[in-house]
Chain A
């Protein structure tokens, strides 16, 4: 009823004509869909922690250089498959062997569907190629290094006024030898291709839907533990909505009720509410948040193993600090509405005062509630990032804040995929809410200075 009146109001019509606001609403809706998808099991917490490829893999935009390709191949064969396959070889019974094979899976990418012995035989072939390739690589590396030195020496010798001919010959001999080595090592790319083919046979990229899912997981690269960044980002969208929605709804409700009570009843109710409001707003916001989070330390809400409960301190801290602003705004508005004729008339007729507040006063502040909701939503999302960085925020599950805070070291080594993915996702949602709250303010409260 209250909502119906609000949706039919003049401001709402004005809002609907605002194209930017409509686009922003659509974007928010899209995010909400993602969040709901994650909430109903589309992206589980385990998914965000499961390794899908090697650490810090760049995403789709970055072309892979030869060095990175070689490094990846080396990782895949030596670091990832070797221990699992060797463990499988040593396994005493079929079950533990199968278990070792299972551990080699990377997300949707499992070992080929072959009998165990064949898998091990395949691996042996691959390992053979790998060893040869590795050796060539090492030889090439050494040769390159030596060549550099010898060439410098040779140039230096030749530049001398009286070059020592023996020395020059000796150096040239060395150079020739290492050049020969390099020539042999030129076979390395071929071997690498063979190895890659072998590994693909042993550990094929799945086809069909699982393959698409697997490739999609690699779009935005992997984090420092090899988990998919985009999966983390999508899961974090859910967390952002959880935090934003719960705290904004809570804070708006508390703020509206207390603000309306303070504004309408005045006197000691007003004094008491305003005392709480000024108390809470006299403590710097981050300090208050931090202290409130500390309050929950050591309780069941401070346990990484139960991430859903670990969000409660955040809800409580944001809820307790955010309602203050809403309360002030609503109180001011209610004081204005209270003086309006129809409220005076309702009082004169003799309606009960709580009835007047709920029936005549609060419905006229719905637009402020919506504006405050979207402002607080933004504040909660941004606050989460900061608290997570300070170690007081989300625990035991990925959030945009955790992703950004933890990518500090990645950034200093030049890997931007995790921070940029989190930032881009956050940017879209916060920008949409910023535009929407501006449009709401324009439509309902054009004189307001924010």
Chain B
């Protein structure tokens, strides 16, 4: 049996990987950072958030990486310009210039192109010290913008004024932008009179900053506003392009957390609770609704089904079937709305003396004292959980009864039932001994298939009664784009689901002698 279980588990690993992939991919169709922060967030906040949330690595691999490096076009200053589609900033062009220390105006020129970025950023380094990262709106052609100047027959746009203390100026243009980034030419124009401006064409630019060539200047130790040196930034950039292993991505990072049962990832919401804490809080609340619901509806469903099958074709049976079908044709939500109205809201409005149920909310009914003792307050359960449980039972009984009745009716048509009757067995004996044991397989299948909902909780009930169980947390997480929680919940649910499937097989083998686990 254990061999069977182990094999089943192995077999389900691809399924599990698929589930996680599907959910993570679906959540990343739109950039989660934008979804979380909104479209108008500033680049700085987006960058830091991305780093904090562990989203700076690609989901699986860097799509832009495969699209190739900068493309050269035969237009612009010096007869050529380099172009790269907007992305996450892993592709860059570096201009390095030997300069005299002093203040310089920085100007840029580029050929007009469709789909150009509005926020092409250029990180400026004073030798190794990161200074500013001004942005250029390249969608406005040079010459048409405010403050554009003409120098030597070419239009330039001034985008920053920076005082360099060292003798090396480095300007790094990345493709982190919302459109095409065009690297053509940069001019460093000294603000002091009498000195010649330095013009760097794209032909002068190198691809990557090499940290080894840095640091010959006294200003090298000074750090930029974000506390990182050119070396650090350069290392990061280098790593992002070449040093990233195939496994260094969000998918595998998440997998490794799941398989090491690491639930320390934090929610993105303001309280930043860890996932493990949320699960531990929510699961018991869901269970206190779902466990009673499933037990009650299964038992009642089977009993009604047996009665129905016993009176098959007669009035009692027909009425039960009609009620079940009618009940199934009304939306779950309607039951909940009217259940709450009649069960809780109306008595409260009328100031009735008997108000056993709360309109919404949840209070714990199991508590722990010091030293591992725990205590129950069943009154709390009745007040907050009984009404949802009753609604849940009423709704599921219709479905359950119909299913179990079909199972029982099918069993009554079996040959062995005739055999048993021919032996002189009484009808109750036939129903409760012969039939029920044979009907166990579909019954188990159904009960087991509802088990995963034990921890999902009834999403609707929890949302409506504002019971902070799994379903409530999950829908809130989805609505507030709290993706770590969504992913974590799905991972737990899917694992639970797979375990249930295997458990179901094992139970089959226990109930039905014909089933062999192999």
Contacts and interface: CB of A to CB of B under 8 A. Distances in A.
B410 A447 contact: yes
A167 B26 CA distance: 80
Given A279-B15, A401-B333, A449-B403, 13 more contacts: A275-B15, A279-B18, A282-B19, A284-B497, A286-B459, A287-B474, A297-B35, A299-B30, A385-B332, A389-B333, A389-B464, A435-B325, A449-B407
Mostly helix, strand, loop or mixed at chain B's interface?
Answer: helix
Interface string B343-354: 001000100000
B10 to A, nearest CB: 14
B330 interface: yes
A155 B275 CA distance: 67
Contacts of B349: 412
B440 interface: no
A138 to B, nearest CB: 27
B34 A291 contact: no
B149 interface: no
B333 A294 contact: no
Contacts of B479: 391
B478 A294 contact: yes
Nearest to B498: A282
Nearest to B471: A286
6 contacts: A283-B494, A284-B453, A287-B489, A291-B490, A299-B30, A389-B463
B15 A278 contact: yes
A391 B333 CA distance: 13
Interface string A409-426: 001100000010001001
Given A287-B474, A386-B460, A423 B19 contact: no
Contacts of B410: 447, 449
B475 A290 contact: yes
B337 interface: yes
Nearest 4 interchain pairs by C-beta: A279-B18, A431-B329, A430-B329, A295-B26
Contacts of B460: 386, 389-390
A62 interface: no
A280 B475 CA distance: 19
A196 B64 CA distance: 72
Interface residues of A, number: 46
A158 interface: no
A431 B493 contact: no
A286 B475 CA distance: 10
B124 to A, nearest CB: 33
A298 interface: yes
Interface of A: 275-276, 278-280, 282-284, 286-287, 290-292, 294-299, 382, 385-386, 389-392, 400-401, 404-405, 407-408, 411-412, 419, 423, 426-427, 430-431, 434-435, 438, 447, 449-450
Nearest to B325: A434
B463 A449 contact: no
Nearest to B28: A295
Interface residues of B toward A: which range? 35 or more
A423 B478 contact: no
B402 interface: yes
Contacts of B14: 275
Given A279-B19, A283-B490, A298-B34, A412 B332 contact: no
A438 B452 CA distance: 27
B328 interface: yes
B199 interface: no
A65 to B, nearest CB: 18
Nearest to A281: B497
B450 to A, nearest CB: 11
B239 interface: no
A408 B463 CA distance: 13
A291 B26 contact: yes
B266 to A, nearest CB: 20
Nearest to A302: B30
Residue among A282, A292, A294, A431 having the largest count of chain B Cβ atoms under 10 Å:
A282
Nearest to B410: A449
B479 to A, nearest CB: 6
A394 to B, nearest CB: 14
A411 B501 CA distance: 41
A69 B481 CA distance: 48
Interface in B322-363: 325-326, 328-334, 337-338, 341, 345, 349
A427 B325 CA distance: 10
Given A447-B410, A449-B407, A294 B27 contact: yes
